[in-house]
A and B are shown apart, each in its own frame.
Chain A
Amino acid sequence: MYKRWLARLLRWTLRLDVAINRAYPTDFNPLYYTGGLSNLFLTVLVLSGIFLFFYYVPSFNEAYTSVQFITNDVPYGQIIRGIHRYAADAFIIGILLHFFRNWFTERFRFSRDEPWISGMMLLLFAGFIGVTGYVLVWDQRSELLVAMTGGVVGSVPLVGGWLRSMLFGGAGLTNLLLPRMLFLHVGPAVVLYILLWWHYVRIRHPKVWPPAVWTLFSLGLIFLLTGLVPTVSQPAASPAAGPTRLAVDLFYLLPYLGLKYLPPLALFALAVVIVAYGLYIPYQLPETQAEMGLRDSGVAQVIDANCTGCELCYYDCPYDAIVMVPSPHPGVTKAAQARKLFAIVLESRCVECGICIGACPFEALELPRLLEKDVHEKVLSACKS
C-alpha cells in the first residue's frame, strides 16, 4: 500500500519536473535546488540576524521598544527586519519542499539515510529557531506563544516541569526568559551549520547553491515583499492584561492551532510520533532481493600488507573518502614494499559503495561485510535463480 502510494507520488513529482523543464532550461529547474535555496535563505537569515542582534535588547522592558527602534529609527532597519522575517518563511518552505521531493523520489535509501536523518534534524531546529524568534519580539503573540509552549512542554509526564524551567528559566515569566530565548535563537543557528556539514558530507557533488537566476529571483521576491508588506509587531506584551488571540504565521506557528482541538499532552505526543516516523522513513521500505545485504557492507578497509600507495582509489573515490599519507612502514607484498604513500579511509565520508575496491588492482581494499567471495556467491545464486 505504502509502496504503491509512494510510486504514485514519484510519478506526479516527475511529471511536475517535466512540466517545469518545458518552461525553464533543465539546469534552471527550481525543484532541483530546493536544498540550495534553503541554504541561500539560511545565509540571508544569518546576515540579517547579525544586523538585528546589534540593536536588540533581551529584557522585558526594552525588547519591544528595541524592536520598534529597529523598525522605525534605524536606517533601513524595517527592510532588514522584513528580510529576516520573509527569509525565515522562505527557509522553512525550501526545507519542506526539499523534504517532500526527496521523500517522493526515494532519495533516502542506502548512503542517503544519513542526509535524511540530518535533514530531519535541520527541519526540527529550523522550526524551533523560528518560534524562539517570534518570542524575542515580545509582543502579545510572543506572550501567548510562551504560555502555549509552556503548557505543552509542562504537560510531559515526569520531566515536564523541569523542561519548562530549562526552556524559560523558571515557572511563569522570569527575567531569564528573553536572554534564554535569544540564546536559543542564536545557538541552534550555529548547530544548523554542524548539521549541514553532516547533511552534505556523504553526498556526491551536493548542490549547495541555486543558480544565479533563482538566487536573484528569491532575493528579489524577499525585497519586494519587505517593501510591499512591511513587517510590524503586534501590540506590546502586557502580562497583567494577558493576550487573547494568536496571529498565526502559517509556516512556523501552524502546529499551535492544534491546541484548539487537542489537549497539550496529546499535541506533544502527536509531534513526537510525527518526528519518530520521519526518522523511520529511510528504513521503512523492505530491501529488494537485489539490494539485500548491500546497505551494511561496512566502511571500506585498507589491507596494509597489499597497499602500494598507487593513489588509484584516492582518484576514483567520488566521495573524497580516501586520503593518502606518508607510509609509516613498507608493505608486505613485493609491489607494496617500495611504497611511499599509504591510503587511509575516512569513515565519516565512506558510503560503502565499493568503487575503491574496483579501482584497486592490488586487492588492498575490502568491504568487511561484503567480501569478494560473498559477491561471487550472490552473482552465482542470482544466475541460478
Chain B
Amino acid sequence: MGDRTAAFGSRIIGLSVLSLVCILGIFWGEATSHRLVVGALIGVVLLAYSFIVLFLRKGGFTGV
C-alpha cells in the first residue's frame, strides 16, 4: 500500500469514527428532543459520507 493510499485510508477511518459519534449523537438528540441538533448531526454524517466516497476514489480503493 502506497503512502498516498494509506493517507486517504486513515482519513476514511477518521471520518467513519466521526460518523459513528454523530449517529450516537442523533440517538441522544432524539431521546432528549434536541431535534435541531439531530438535523445538524444528520448533515454532518452525510457530509462525512460524501468525503468518504471522495477519498475512496482518490485513494484508489474504488473506480479508476
Chain B interface residue count, CB cutoff 8 Å, equals: 22
A31 to chain B, nearest CB (A): 16
CA distance A28 to B42 in the complex (A): 23
Q: How far is the CB of A328 from chain B (nearest CB, A)?
A: 49
Contact A25 B63, beta carbon cutoff 8 Å? yes
CB distance A227 to B41 under 8 Å? yes
Q: Is the CB of B50 within 8 A of A79?
A: no
Distance A110 CA – B8 CA, assembled complex (angstroms): 44
Q: Which of A200-223 contact B (CB under 8 A)?
A: 212-217, 219-223
Interface string of A297-341 (1 = CB under 8 A from B): 000000000000000000000000000000000000000000000
The answer, among B40, B45, B53, B54, for a CB contact under 8 Å with A228, is B40
Query: In the complex, A219 Cα to B45 Cα: how many Å?
Result: 10
Q: Is the CB of B43 within 8 A of A227?
A: yes
Q: Is A225 an interface residue (CB 8 A)?
A: yes
Minimum Cβ distance to chain B for residue A352 (Å): 36
A215 vs B36: C-alpha distance when bound (angstroms): 21
Once the chains bind, are B40 and A213 in contact (CB under 8 Å)? no
Cβ–Cβ < 8 Å partners of A38 in chain B = none
For B49, the chain A residues whose CB sits under 8 A away are 216, 220
Which residue of A24, A216, A227 is within 8 Å of B39 (Cβ)? A227
Number of cross-chain contacts by CB at 8 Å? 74
- Closest residue on chain B to residue A223 by CB atoms: B43
Partner of A220, one of B36, B47, B58: B47
Could you say which of A28, A76, A79, A217 contacts B57, with CB atoms under 8 Å apart? A28
Cross-chain contact A78 with B36 (CB below 8 angstroms): yes
CA distance A25 to B63 in the complex (A): 10
Smallest Cβ-Cβ distance to A222: which chain B residue: B43
Interface size in chain A (residues, C-beta < 8 A): 25
Q: For B48, what are the chain A residues with a Cβ–Cβ distance below 8 Å? A: 220
Contact of B44 with A by CB under 8 A: yes
- A interface: dominant SS: helix
Is B46 on the interface with A (CB-CB < 8 A)?
Answer: yes
- Complex contact A76–B46 (CB within 8 A): no
Chain B residue with minimal CB distance to A213?
B53
Minimum Cβ distance to chain A for residue B27 (Å) = 15
Task: Provide the residues of chain B in CB contact with A215, threshold 8 Å.
Answer: 50
Distance A258 CA – B62 CA, assembled complex (angstroms): 50
**Interface pair A25/B57, CB less than 8 Å apart:** yes
Residues of B within 8 A of A (CB): 35-51, 53-54, 57-58, 63
Q: Mind listing 6 A-B residue pairs with CB under 8 Å?
A: A75-B35, A215-B50, A216-B50, A220-B46, A221-B43, A225-B43
CB-CB nearest 9 A-B residue pairs:
A227-B40, A224-B43, A220-B46, A223-B43, A220-B47, A216-B50, A227-B39, A217-B50, A79-B39
